[in-house]
Amino acid sequence: MKTLMLVALLACVGTSASYAPGDADSDAEAKVVAMQHMWGQAYVSKDPKALERILDDAFVNVDSDGILQTKAEAVAEVRTSTTVQFLTESMVVHLHGNAAIVTGVFEIKGVDRGKPYAQRERFVDTWLYKNGQWVSIAGLVTRVGQ
């Protein structure tokens, strides 16, 4: 019995000494936030390769019009983007092991067919730590009243 208790105690001490969830969590949050910003920048710079790197091959998104998009469709949309400004606010990362749920609001401004536009949208994105990197596996966007 004493041996079992000693093994359990050593296991607990070893685990707490080698695992620092605060540091790991803040690092993961920072990486996911950086990826979120890269996503918005891809629209502004019309950079499909950047989006291809951060979206999983099985990525799905429901856009603000309720249309289901695949990775290929999202990447194609970036190529024809009319967005000139992409601002993100109120972003919160919720970590769940190798998954992260990011919620927030973004505002996009652009010019489409010579007419300026601005939209505010709330988003929920799901990220997965896969093969050594964070990739987006799902998104949902809805318009926010102005």
pLDDT of residue 127: 98
- Domain boundaries, given as residue ranges, for the chain: 22-143
Architecture category of domain 22-143 in CATH: Roll (3.10)
Give residue for tokens 């685990």: 15
Whether the CA torsion 123, 27, 30, 57 is positive or negative: it is negative
- 8 Å CB contact between 83 and 121: no
Q: In the structure, what pLDDT confidence band is assigned to residue 28 with cuts at 50, 70 and 90?
A: very high
Confidence of residue 146 (pLDDT cuts 50, 70, 90): low
Kindly give, in sequence order, each residue whose CB lies less than 8 Å from that of residue 20, ignoring residues fewer than 6 positions away.
Answer: none
Average pLDDT over residues 63-91: 95
HSE (CB half, 13 Å, CA atoms) of 35? 26
CA distances from 82 to 14, 42, 110 (A): 54, 12, 5
Mean pLDDT of 123-143: 97
